[in-house]
Structure 1
Amino acid sequence: MQHQLMATMAAGLEALTARELQHLGFDTTTENGKVYFQGDDTAIATANVWLRTADRIKIVIGQFKATTFDELFEGVKALPWDQYLPLDAAFPVAGRSVRSTLHAEPDVQAITKKAIVNKLAEVYHRRGRLPETGHTYPLEVSILKDVATLTIDTTGPSLFKRGYRIAKGEAPLKENFAAALVMLTNWRPELPFLDPTCGSGTIPIEAALIGLNIAPGLQRHFAFEDFAFIDQAVLQQVKDAAMDAADFDRELDITGCDINQEMIEVARLNAKQAGLLHSITFKQVAVKDNRPTAPRGVIVANPPYGKRMGELDAARKLYREMGQVYSQLPGWSKYILTADLGFEKSYGTKATKRRKLYNGNLQTDLFQYWGKRG
């Protein structure tokens, strides 16, 4: 069966996710926070296993305009729910409404649930409530500018949950956001890679996964594994193909550093869990003492932003140290993420380019300094 599919992601990462899907062979259409594509059961498995920057893969059951609850009810009921939900399916309905006439989200959820129950009761010749004792099919009704979109989530826990992070620091980056930071650079696996403020090691680990071409979803489970309408053999086939595509023997020069030895131990623990400890070197060293000797390479840093009371001065002192050290590395490209708009003044040099990104709900900028060629 062919499906209309939708990948969701953080704002600002749409182009990266679209590029990933196109690399996997899909034609895409992009909207804010969404990339649409089409495919069969194998496409669902492939997108979930391979996408590094997305949050979820959803099946779009239908879209229609709804400005009244009657329109919502009839529109939902008209959709082919019996092709997706067996008689005993448990189907919790999440709901959200943005800039729409039907703005009461609890009512939107309740009407949607009632319409689906009515449709299935008619199809399966049942009276009263459905059992909902079987596997879970997470549904969502989303209304944006009076257009309702009904979806089934095939992912389950968000794709950023790779499964390797068993320990973390104070404000860890989500794994898919860390992967996006790496993918926004000009790094190639043959170049040295350095994260000078690595914390729990997420950025170096994601760089190693990319460098070795290891699919990020290789070790995890997905909601669609329990869906009756999906061929359960496809996930193992996709994972087997992903294992064949990985280059486990490639040698990488990836280093993660932090001034805090406890965080270095946390990073090593996570890298070991990911099976990548052999590909990453972790060292306790301060930024001001960390001077790479290779003529070229890429630095990706997510230093403290100084958002808490009294921490801004310390953060800007670190930025000054970065500027002083990295000015001596003309062949290295530097990508530094921070929410401090005064970063360039502290760093001492205007960025080649700035890119707005959202780290969770926090607006940040990726300050990019491209290395000189030759």
Structure 2
Amino acid sequence: MNNYFASCPRGLEPLLADDIAALGGQHVKAVGGGVMFAGDWPVCYAVNLHSRLATRVLWRVAARGYATADDIYKLALDTDWTAFFLPTQTLRVDVTAIKSPLKSLDFVTLRVKDGICDRFRRDCGDVRPSIDTRQPDVRVQAFLTEDNCTLYVDTSGDPLWQRGLRQKTVEAPLKENLAAGILRLAGWQPGTPLFDPMCGSGTFLLEAAQIAHGIAPGSRRSFAFERLKGFDAETWRRMREAALAAEKPVAWAQLFGADVSAQAVRAATANLDRAGLLEAVELIQSDILEVAAPADGGILVCNPPYGVRLEEQESLAAFYPQLATALKKNFAGWTCHFFTADLRMPKLMRLTPSRKTPLYNGALECRLFEIRMVAGSNRPAK
């Protein structure tokens, strides 16, 4: 049995832990930034194939306390890398740290590379992997705490939010795994009308359409575990074929999208079309302040712009009350979910959120505000 760490956007760890346990993971434990779990290789394959929330699945291969970069070199040298991959394969090493006393992570990266390559030279007659930082066969990740170093082999390759579907993007698109987590937190289920009135390149709609049709997020891409020693090609073939066989024929799924930008609507249309899911979605060009609700009730979810510069913040402060008026007028009976880094939003809208969920978009602290729309004011009487 192997030990793994699946990373994910901060705030989604409990949901990811539930998913991994359902896929057969053992000793599942949510920690900051991800989930630790154990399992045989089929569990690792399944998490890569089916998890909508994970960013990467890392296989823990070594760990030890350290004081200097030389200690980390010795840990890499003492690890039997020949059991994991071939000396003819290309390699990339990444190092991340929390509270490490070592000043240069670049130097630590170099020492990990040296340890791996020196071990291959020792075991394989002066043959060693070459470095490729762009498209490596194998990625090794070192994670440093204050006094401990853990070495991982990445089983995912490209990050798991890259479903292999979205080609066209607009400014600041959400990553797919964060969008999937927001849909989960919003409580959306297939069959319920879903509307994104600021759809951008269509990330929420793409995720929802995949969920509605039972499409496994990893079914159309490759993974790094396929290039590791001991890869069980037959088990993986059966698993992937079972996932493809479980997909439903594409049909209308009560998914609606709109954007004020014609370019965004074109991008969303192109992405859904390329994914073969355009039939499931209705897209229009419209302003959120003017658009009519596409159904009597449902879930509205969107990622509105959040201003960084002062003038942007001032224009948003004027926009939010207009948005509240439009929602009260047009979306009574809907539950609205706004994902934003602008924590002023509900107060400036003069609407009281029924739920506030802390999330992170990368390093940026955000909130998912749930606001249940009723006709007239949503604020309790004083």
Does the alignment reach a TM-score above 0.5? Answer: yes
Tell me the secondary structure at the aligned position of residue 287 of structure 1.
coil
* Distance (whole Å) between structure 2 residues aligned to residue 108 and residue 131 of structure 1: 18
Instruction: Establish whether residue 151 from structure 1 lines up as the match of residue 152 from structure 2.
Output: yes
Instruction: Establish whether residue 214 from structure 1 lines up as the match of residue 212 from structure 2.
Output: no
Tell me the secondary structure at the aligned position of residue 311 of structure 2.
coil
Deviation at 1:198, TM superposition (A): 0.5
Residue correspondence of structure 1 range 177-326 to structure 2 within 5 A: 177-249=178-250, 251-292=252-293, 294-326=295-327
Deviation at 1:251, TM superposition (A): 4.3
Match of 2:182, as an amino acid?
L
Deviation at 1:370, TM superposition (A): 4.1
Within the candidate set 352, 356, 359, 1:357 is matched to 359
CA deviation vs aligned residue, 1:222-266 (integer Å, no higher than 9, x gap): 222222321233333222111122233564101001112221111
* Distance (whole Å) between structure 1 residues aligned to residue 25 and residue 7 of structure 2: 15
**1:215, 1:242 within 8 Å by CA — same for their partners in 2?**
yes
* Distance (whole Å) between structure 2 residues aligned to residue 15 and residue 318 of structure 1: 34
1:9 match: 8
**2:250, 2:280 within 8 Å by CA — same for their partners in 1?**
no
Distance 1:131 1:174, change over 3 A: closer
CA deviation vs aligned residue, 1:187-233 (integer Å, no higher than 9, x gap): 11121100011111111111111222211111112222222321233
Match of 1:10, as an amino acid?
P
**2:73, 2:115 within 8 Å by CA — same for their partners in 1?**
yes
Tell me the secondary structure at the aligned position of residue 311 of structure 1.
helix
Tell me the secondary structure at the aligned position of residue 53 of structure 1.
coil
My pick for the range that moved more, 114-123 or 144-153, is 114-123
My pick for the range that moved more, 148-157 or 287-296, is 287-296
**1:164, 1:274 within 8 Å by CA — same for their partners in 2?**
yes
CA deviation vs aligned residue, 1:19-64 (integer Å, no higher than 9, x gap): 2212323231121112112223322221112111111111110222
My pick for the range that moved more, 313-322 or 259-268, is 313-322
2:128 match: 130
Deviation at 1:76, TM superposition (A): 2.8
Distance 1:139 1:46, change over 3 A: same
The percent of aligned pairs where both chains have the same amino acid is 29
* Distance (whole Å) between structure 2 residues aligned to residue 57 and residue 131 of structure 1: 22
1:84 match: 84
Deviation at 1:133, TM superposition (A): 9.2
Deviation at 1:346, TM superposition (A): 2.4
Tell me the secondary structure at the aligned position of residue 139 of structure 1.
strand
* Distance (whole Å) between structure 1 residues aligned to residue 316 and residue 237 of structure 2: 46
Tell me the secondary structure at the aligned position of residue 248 of structure 1.
coil
**2:256, 2:281 within 8 Å by CA — same for their partners in 1?**
yes
Instruction: Establish whether residue 24 from structure 1 lines up as the match of residue 23 from structure 2.
Output: yes
Distance 1:248 1:316, change over 3 A: farther
Match of 1:15, as an amino acid?
P
Match of 2:339, as an amino acid?
L
Tell me the secondary structure at the aligned position of residue 17 of structure 2.
helix
Deviation at 1:162, TM superposition (A): 1.4
Deviation at 1:336, TM superposition (A): 0.4
* Distance (whole Å) between structure 1 residues aligned to residue 223 and residue 214 of structure 2: 21
Match of 1:130, as an amino acid?
R
Distance 1:141 1:327, change over 3 A: same
**1:287, 1:321 within 8 Å by CA — same for their partners in 2?**
no
Within the candidate set 340, 350, 357, 1:348 is matched to 350
1:56 match: 56
* Distance (whole Å) between structure 2 residues aligned to residue 265 and residue 69 of structure 1: 51
1:42 match: 42
Deviation at 1:131, TM superposition (A): 5.4
* Distance (whole Å) between structure 2 residues aligned to residue 228 and residue 105 of structure 1: 29
* Distance (whole Å) between structure 1 residues aligned to residue 322 and residue 241 of structure 2: 46
Match of 2:358, as an amino acid?
K
* Distance (whole Å) between structure 1 residues aligned to residue 11 and residue 343 of structure 2: 18
Deviation at 1:333, TM superposition (A): 1.2
**1:66, 1:148 within 8 Å by CA — same for their partners in 2?**
yes
Tell me the secondary structure at the aligned position of residue 92 of structure 1.
strand
**1:97, 1:104 within 8 Å by CA — same for their partners in 2?**
no
Segments of 5+ residues of structure 1 without an aligned counterpart are none
1:95 match: 95
1:327 match: 328
